Chains A and B, each alone.
Chain A
Amino acid sequence: MSENEPRTYDQAVYAVSDEENEPLLSEKRSETVESEGVLPDDLTRDDLTLPNPEEPELARHYTRLSQMNWSIESGPYPLGSCTMKYNPPVTEDVAADPNAAVHPDRSASSVQGTLGLLAGLQDYLARIGGMDAVTLQPPAGAAGEFTGIAVARAYHRANGEDRSEVLIPSSAHGTNFATAALAGYDVVELPSGEDGRVDMEALEAAVSSDTAALMLTNPNTVGLFERDIEEIADVVHDAGGLLYYDGANLNALLGRARPGDMGFDIMHYNVHKTFATPHGGGGPGAGPVGVVEELEPYLPNPRIEETESGYEFGESEDAIERVHGFQGNWLVLVKAYAYIARLGDSGLADASAKAVLNANYLAEQVDLEVPYGPFHHEFAATAGDAAAADVAKRMLDFGVHPPTTNWPEMVPEAMLTEPTEIESKQSLDELAAAFDAALGSTDEERHDAPSRTTAKRIDQTSAARDPRLSWQALEE
């Protein structure tokens, strides 16, 4: 393979006929069963029909499905803002410890190991974020945002204030907007300045005594560090608002800067991004929230407290209501603890250093225009005259997963690329070759892509226009 030729890639395809890939379980063998005898008829259903494969069939079905799926071990997965990095198997092994499998209603005295691990993770996260207190309850980043905004609301209410607005830069993740709305706030969208950062004039015009919080990602979604962060913090704080840090891009800062030092009052951590717990095809994640001392009383109950006799559950009278029925996504938290412990100070700092180096190197290698800069761990290139979505489909033929496309909106035909620290120089060279080959393809080649994947281009419009969301709907 020459340096500028991307490799091509065939994804596993399984078919029982020319028209069909791996059949649905329901198409293999189903069975109808009636329950008899253990309950009166008026409490039971008539019957139940479900697939009934034997174990070897089941094993083959899901093995085939797995081979029709892209993962971080399959190849580069540079989805911008998603931080898809290698998930070391050792964290899976330690989370599979039978002692980790306990019920959430156990007495505190009987689960000192579990509580000790949680307390340890809280401590690690507080140190990494420069925060004073952490809750591990939120089961995902968006749930962390919700927790953080609820904490802000509780704080303002405790001060006798009913602030109605949350400020969010236009480039922010959609979850920020949805979270603020879910919490009952009016969203005030801040335009980005010409340099891709927060426009200070727009911020000063928007901030007021109605401002409950500003939600900010730093570095932001095009990888730019908000260099005016101290001034931003002053403007928000002077108006009585709180500064919220969206932890989506924390991988760019480990050991180099801490949200707490920048003036942020509340932050969430995406442990499934920064600390390499597996994303599992879209979850589970975990979204711990850190706060400064003044806000600690508002974190949701129960809090884990260390006493002379061991770890106990503490309750705060001022706590917000809960964000999860129990203690959050425990198994994810075990893996996060293990990952942080494996890397330690030096590994965490190196992860950020290599992530930033990789992004800068890749941006240098591709033939795409990359506006703004200097950037950290991710960059938003523009596909120019080509449609970013089509370039992405063409990249699928070259053995890589494409970047996030058409977002953030501040870059036309954006291709938001985040290689993370795990790609080698050669891997980045191949990724750049895939970019360039896709960009250099003809419109027709892009339109017909992908051609080497399990499915060819999928018709999204008909999926939405005629929703068929179950195998029952397929039979209609």
Chain B
Amino acid sequence: MSGSPYAPHTDAETAAMLDAVGAADEAALFDIPEPVAFDGEFGIEPRSEQELRREMADLLGRNDDLTEFLGRGHYEHYVPSVVDSLSSRSEFLTSYTQYQPEITQGFLQALFEYQSMLVELTGLGIANCSMYDAATALGEAALLADRVRSVDGEVVLVPENLREGKRSVLANYVDGSDLRIETYPIENGTADVDALDDAVGEDTVFVYAETPTVRGCIEPNLAEIGEIADAEGAMFCLGSDPVALSILEEPASVGADVVVGEAGVLGLPAAYGMGLGLFACDEEFLRQVPGRLVGASEDADGTRAYTLTLQTREQHIRKQRATSNICTNQAWVALRAAMHAAYLGADGLVGLAEDCVTLARDLAADIDDVTGLQAPVDDRHHFREFVVGTDQPAQAIADDLEEEGFAVHVIGDHRLQVCITDANAHAADDLVAAFEEVAA
């Protein structure tokens, strides 16, 4: 085989085109000085489609077949087939950013609907049409606070048990600003509100809390946290996800100025951490919001139409004065999330969220019955996941569980964390049986 399988030129056409441009051959078209030209080989053998399929199946087949009870920021819910089918239509999948809105109304409307669903779920005035993931959305939110808050503060306050990946991304984002990260304590899986109150001062510009927390606890004191932040003029940023938000307190009602989080809980399967950053905020920040916004307008016939708008905030117009450097975002993942949410509807979404509470509650109770295990460790209401105390070393239990075909988190010497959703609930009894084998 020679040449790209996706370049359609016949030899005769190539010759005719070379003739038209006055070049002897293709090499003559390359204006590359000899000292920096490359005439070697990469050593990459081309594969036929069949060979490629076999190779990829063999390669990925080296992954062990484990039933995952893993969460901590990356969750799997069953994604209905219709979402795969519709989102894979090439008109969606292989299109690009909607720089010519007249010819990309379909995607623009879908993104407008995605934004609208987040507005409904958060109660906030605006949502953008995606960031990369929950961690980068948090980083962008802190920088938003730096731009819009009148207080002189430079402290970004986050929970001490913030997932390391998020803390690290946040640190990277604020490294180019004057902001610095401090933490507040966690007690029993949720914010220690008294300690948080002590930690917030006039130098605080941003207070971040999560519900559910990284340990799966539903935060019971959100309104109080919001008041503490507000009293010092700090921005209150809430981390959550669209499934949880369908039954938990509405962020606007607890004083959240910004909501960030992982919207890939809808529409994305387990994808090795690939995500969809949710970003919604109060309307007052409209002109400082990072990322793309789709707005409704009218066309020349007076018909409703959609377009990217307020692009003067964006890097391709504003350059170094842009609100963010984001260009390519997660548009197709947002489309899938909107499709999944629409498939579920309000009824289905609330039902799924209720399952996240009851499945975790029931599994924790069953695990608690196993000799040598205590669950849930935190005396809180849980969503999807909870911490398990172990008499035996946690790592040894997890290793043994892996032998039995199950994956769980190890989060301490005698702490495991287990996550259950509709996607793995069918195997809950088997997990409990495996725990009985290995935990005593």
Which of A33-41, A201-209, A380-388, A435-443 is found at the contact surface with chain B? A33-41
Chain B positions within 8 Å of A401 at CB level: 100, 103
Interface centre among B245, B249, B317 (most CB of A within 10 A): B249
Give the distance to chain A from B178, nearest Cβ to Cβ, in Å. 9
Instruction: Decide if A65 touches B110 in the complex (CB within 8 Å).
Output: yes
Residues B187-215 near A (CB distance < 8 A): none
A402→B100 contact, CB < 8 A: yes
Shortest beta-carbon distance from A153 to chain B in Å: 8
- The answer to whether A324 and B135 touch (CB under 8 A), given A458-B305, A470-B127, is yes
Determine if A240 is an interface residue (Cβ-Cβ < 8 Å): no
92-134 of chain B: CB within 8 A of chain A: 92-107, 109-113, 115-117, 119-121, 125-127, 129-130, 132-134
Complex interface residues of chain B between 292 and 329 (CB less than 8 A to chain A): 292-305, 307, 309-310, 312, 314-322, 324-329
Mask for B354-372, Cβ within 8 A of A = 1, else 0? 1001100000000000000
Q: Chain A residue with minimal CB distance to B18?
A: A357
A72 within 8 Å of B by Cβ? yes
Chain B residues touching A, majority SS: mixed
| Contacts of A228-263 to chain B: CB distance below 8 A | 229-230, 253, 255-258, 261-263
Residue of A with least CB distance to B64: A110
Residues of chain B within 8 A of A345, CB atoms compared = 41-46
Complex contact A462–B298 (CB within 8 A) = yes
Complex CA–CA separation, A62 to B110 (angstroms)? 8
Q: Which of B336-344, B386-394, B426-434 contacts A (4 or more CB under 8 A)?
A: B336-344
In contact, B107 and A65 (Cβ under 8 angstroms): yes
Distance A53 CA – B112 CA, assembled complex (angstroms): 17
Please measure, in the bound complex, the distance between the C-alpha atom of A127 and the C-alpha atom of B43, giving whole angstroms: 8
Complex Cα spacing A62 to B132, Å: 23
Instruction: Known A141-B327, A321-B171; judge A105-B72 contact (CB<8 A).
Output: yes
- A354 close to B4 (CB less than 8 A): yes
Mark contacts of A95-126 with chain B using CB atoms, 8 A cut-off: 1 yes-contact digit, 0 otherwise.
00101111111110111111011001000100
- Contact between A51 and B342, CB atoms less than 8 A apart: yes
Q: How many residues of A contact B (CB 8 A)?
A: 201
A7 close to B (CB within 8 Å): no
Cross-chain contact B327 with A140 (CB below 8 angstroms): yes
Q: Which residues of B have CB within 8 Å of A20? A: 303-304
Interface centre among A30, A87, A99, by most chain B C-beta atoms within 10 angstroms, is A99
Contact, CB under 8 Å: A463 / B6: no
Inter-subunit contact A346/B346 (CB<8 Å): no
Interchain nearest-CB distance for B258 vs A (Å): 15
Instruction: State whether the Cβ of B24 lies closer than 8 Å to any Cβ in chain A.
Output: no
Is the CB–CB distance between B2 and A346 below 8 Å?
yes
Given contacts A177-B320, A421-B7, contact A282 B331 (CB under 8 A): yes
Contact between chains at B322 and A330 (CB < 8 Å): no
Q: Give the shortest distance, in Å, between A365 (CB) and chain B (any CB).
A: 8
Task: List the B side residues contacting A32 at CB < 8 Å.
Answer: 346
Let me know if B163 is at the binding interface, CB within 8 A: yes
B150 within 8 A of A: no
Is the C-beta of A2 less than 8 angstroms from some C-beta in chain B? no
Write out the residue numbers on chain A whose beta carbons fall within 8 Å of the beta carbon of B7: 350-351, 354, 421-422
Contact of A100 among B60, B72, B166 (CB under 8 A): B60
The reply on A214 being an interface residue by CB < 8 A is no
Q: Chain A residues with Cβ under 8 A from B136's Cβ?
A: 139, 143, 323-325
Taking a contact as CB atoms under 8 Å apart, the answer to whether B36 and A255 are in contact is no
CB distance from B319 to the nearest CB of A (A): 4
Report the Cα distance A99→B31, complex, angstroms: 44
Beyond A87-B93, A376-B30, whether A184 also contacts B177 by CB under 8 A is yes
**Chain B residue with Cβ nearest A374:** B31
Q: CA separation between A408 and B335, bound complex, in Å? A: 30
A24 at the interface (CB under 8 A from B): yes
- Cross-chain contact B331 with A283 (CB below 8 angstroms): yes
Contact of A471 among B4, B52, B113, B274 (CB under 8 A): B113
| Complex contacts, A229 vs chain B, CB 8 Å | 33, 36
**Which B residues are in CB contact (< 8 Å) with A145?**
325
Decide if B422 is an interface residue (CB 8 Å cutoff): no
- Interface check A84, CB cutoff 8 A: yes
Q: How far is the CA of A88 from the CA of B63 in the complex (A)?
A: 25
Cβ contacts under 8 Å, A375 to chain B: 31
CB <8 Å contact, A175 and B103: no
User: Contact string, A433-458, partner B, CB cutoff 8 A, digits 1/0?
Assistant: 00000000000000010100111111
Q: Is the CB of B100 within 8 A of A392?
A: yes
Assuming the contacts A53-B345, A103-B68, A470-B116, asked whether A279 and B325 have C-beta atoms less than 8 A apart, the reply is no
Known contacts: A354-B7, A360-B21, A453-B102. The answer to whether A72 contacts B94 by CB under 8 A is yes
For the complex, give the distance between the alpha carbons of A11 and B94 in Å: 17
From residue A426, how far is it (CB to closest CB) to chain B in Å? Answer: 8
CA distance A350 to B64 in the complex (A): 38
The reply on A128 being an interface residue by CB < 8 A is: yes
Are B327 and A65 interface neighbours, CB within 8 A? no
Cα-based distance from A473 to B113 in the complex (angstroms): 12
B122 to chain A, nearest CB (A): 10
Interface stretch of the complex, out of B9-17, B152-160, B225-233:
B9-17
Query: Is A467 engaged at the interface, CB distance under 8 Å to the other chain?
Result: yes
A48 touches B30 (CB 8 A): no
What A residues does B320 contact at CB under 8 A? Answer: 177-178, 180-181, 187
**Complex Cα–Cα for A472 and B125 (A):** 9
Known: A62-B86, A142-B327, A342-B47. A348 touches B42 (CB 8 A): yes
Q: Are B135 and A325 in touch, CB under 8 angstroms?
A: yes
> Do residues B38 and A331 form an inter-chain contact, with CB atoms below 8 A?
no
State the Cβ distance, B422 to closest chain A Cβ, in Å: 15
Please give, as numbers and ranges, the residues of chain B lying within 8 Å of A211 by CB-CB distance: none
Q: State whether A462 and B303 are in contact (beta carbons under 8 Å apart), knowing that A31-B345, A48-B120, A454-B105 are contacts in the complex.
A: no
Contacting residues, chain A, for B113 (C-beta < 8 A): 24-26, 471
Using a CB-CB cutoff of 8 Å, which residues 181-239 of chain A contact chain B?
181-185, 187, 224-225, 227, 229-230
Q: For residue B348, give the distance in angstroms from its CB to the closest CB of chain A.
A: 8
B326 near A341: Cβ-Cβ < 8 Å: no
Task: Return B38 CB to nearest CB of chain A, in Å.
Answer: 5
Q: List, sorted by A's number, 6 A–B pairs whose CB atoms are closer than 8 Å.
A: A94-B57, A227-B31, A322-B135, A343-B4, A459-B299, A469-B119
Counting from the closest, the 3 A-B pairs by CB-CB distance are A326-B273, A280-B332, A184-B176
